[in-house]
Structure 1
Amino acid sequence: MTVPEHSFAAPAQTVTCNGLLFDMDGTIIDSTEAVVKNWQKIGREIGVDADVILATSHGRRSIDVLAMYEPKLANWDYISRVEALIPTEYGADAVEIPGSRAFLDDIDRRSLPWCIVTSGTRPLVSGWLDVLKLAHPKNLVTAEDVEHGKPDPACYLLGRTKLELAQENPSVVVFEDAPAGVRSGKAAGFRVVALATTHKIEQLVDAGADWIVRDMRSVRLKSWNKGTGEAELEIVDALLLCDTT
């Protein structure tokens, strides 16, 4: 499917929710170059072509990727140690996704419940947030916290739990860039905004994204009622792909 540039022109839409869950890489930051360099280094160590690893690694936990190519390294001690070094060794190779800093600063300042749910380890996530001086959420769900990574829904379900939302059936919106993450959010029963930052449009459509936007500049917090716990998001310049009522 070919989606022309002008297709990113849907009318502004207002979406109500009680909490937000964010993937990290490709959604809040773009550390593609750093990730490539890290897997190239590991590939040389284990004798596997980095291109082969990279074809299956995005949006997945390193422990799951290494289990395929070098099972003896598929342990948290090794992975946490290696990933902790990435932000310091390759910090200059990462940038924020356009609009992410402003949006996170706004929701954090206004105390809207939010959480990062990522396939990276805790040292990796904290390291990138520190290096890029981005807002830190009160809660994180990282690779070590769940038995099965994305597209399994466990990580996003845990993210909702960590938000401690008061509603009996809270409405949660997920922000993702990878098909595996979109499927994870949908399997958890949440609506998903997919960012077309790392994958083809048709892959995000096939994964079931509710909206597709170019980046975080298409989303803003329209209102937040702390008393009722209800937020209104405005999504602009998106491809509306399914019924989101």
Structure 2
Amino acid sequence: MPHHEEHKFSAPPEVHSFAALLFDMDGTIIDSTPAIVKYWMQLGKEIGVPGETILETSHGRRSIDVLAILAPELATWDYVCKAEGQVPVNYGDDAVEVPGSRSLLEKLESAGAPWAIVTSGTRPLVTGWLGVMKLAHPKYMVTAEEVTKGKPDPACYRLGAKRLGLSDGSTKEQGELNDGKQVDPSQLLVLEDAPAGVRAGKAAGYKVVALATTHAISQLREAGADWIVRDMRSVTLSHWDAKGSKVGIEIKDALVV
């Protein structure tokens, strides 16, 4: 993970209300970097591209988008879903939870507060990791194979909001009707670790907490994150107002800009 010593993570606690939370997966809920490195190194051997070259640009991007450039003949959902589905099976011991993520997800789920996972991974990859690591499973997810364009395009996060029954006023995406409860885009909170994901959330008009778990703080700043924190221990559930449909989130020890 990036070194944080030279940065001041000591902003006082803030409590904000949101309509829902939208989580990225890898680098945000779990850190499966060693497993993903092994996945790309092996795949690199198969397609004749150095794994190190792939890893320079692959984080936060869909496998199919990477393969479309490096090995177009393999850029099919059948291939990608099968390949990614084997990652938790083959490398299940090579992932850890991001500190604080398990507690936050369990509290959201227990309270009945609305949350979803929106990820550049495929459904077999995400459900595999949730099962292996025994993490809370959301009622709704948006995975790589369900959107035409991956992050930093905002379509995936807008689709996540729609699946939670919320409309941010954007045009309808992926054929799903934009007839949910109308909310201001700033009432949706995205939790991300990759600059591409931060840009996707901001392009949708949502607020974004960036976790400095995988990328340089300068990259997260440049991407436009509203808050930057070390890990998920800085993000906690303050309250859930079921009647008003508001999720109270406390953000503490954020980066002092």
Give me the TM-score of the superposition, normalised by structure 1: 0.95
**Deviation string, structure 1 residues 58-105 (Cα, Å, up to 9, x no partner):** 000000000111000000000000001000100000010000000000
Would the aligned equivalents of 1:211 and 1:240 in 2 still touch at CA under 8 Å?
no
**Deviation string, structure 1 residues 171-222 (Cα, Å, up to 9, x no partner):** 1000000000000000011000000000000000000000000000001110
Match of residue 225 from structure 1: 241
Q: Classify the secondary structure of the residue corresponding to 1:135.
A: coil
Q: Residue type matched to 2:199 in 1?
A: R
Would the aligned equivalents of 2:8 and 2:256 in 1 still touch at CA under 8 Å?
no
Q: Map of 1:1-245 to 2, 5 A cutoff?
A: 4-5=5-6, 7-165=8-166, 167-170=181-184, 171-239=187-255
Would the aligned equivalents of 2:117 and 2:142 in 1 still touch at CA under 8 Å?
yes
Q: Classify the secondary structure of the residue corresponding to 1:8.
A: coil
CA RMSD of aligned residues (A): 1.3
Deviation at 1:168, TM superposition (A): 1.8
Q: Classify the secondary structure of the residue corresponding to 1:239.
A: coil
Would the aligned equivalents of 1:18 and 1:231 in 2 still touch at CA under 8 Å?
yes
Residues 112 and 57 of structure 1: CA distance in aligned 2, closer, same or farther (over 3 Å): same
Equivalents in 2 of 1:114, 1:107: separation in Å? 7
Query: Where does the alignment leave 5 or more consecutive residues of structure 1 unmatched?
Result: none
Would the aligned equivalents of 1:210 and 1:240 in 2 still touch at CA under 8 Å?
no
Equivalents in 2 of 1:240, 1:18: separation in Å? 26
Equivalents in 1 of 2:163, 2:104: separation in Å? 20
The answer to which of 130-139 and 230-239 deviates more is 230-239
Q: Residue type matched to 1:178 in 2?
A: A
Match of residue 169 from structure 2: none
Equivalents in 2 of 1:117, 1:231: separation in Å? 18
Q: Residue type matched to 1:146 in 2?
A: V
Equivalents in 1 of 2:138, 2:8: separation in Å? 33
Equivalents in 1 of 2:81, 2:245: separation in Å? 35
Q: Detail structure 1 runs of 4+ shifted over 3 Å in the superposition.
A: 2-6
Q: How many pairs does the alignment contain?
A: 240
Deviation at 1:4, TM superposition (A): 4.8
Q: Residue type matched to 1:9 in 2?
A: S
Equivalents in 2 of 1:225, 1:154: separation in Å? 28
Deviation at 1:169, TM superposition (A): 1.6
Would the aligned equivalents of 2:32 and 2:96 in 1 still touch at CA under 8 Å?
yes
Would the aligned equivalents of 1:61 and 1:143 in 2 still touch at CA under 8 Å?
yes
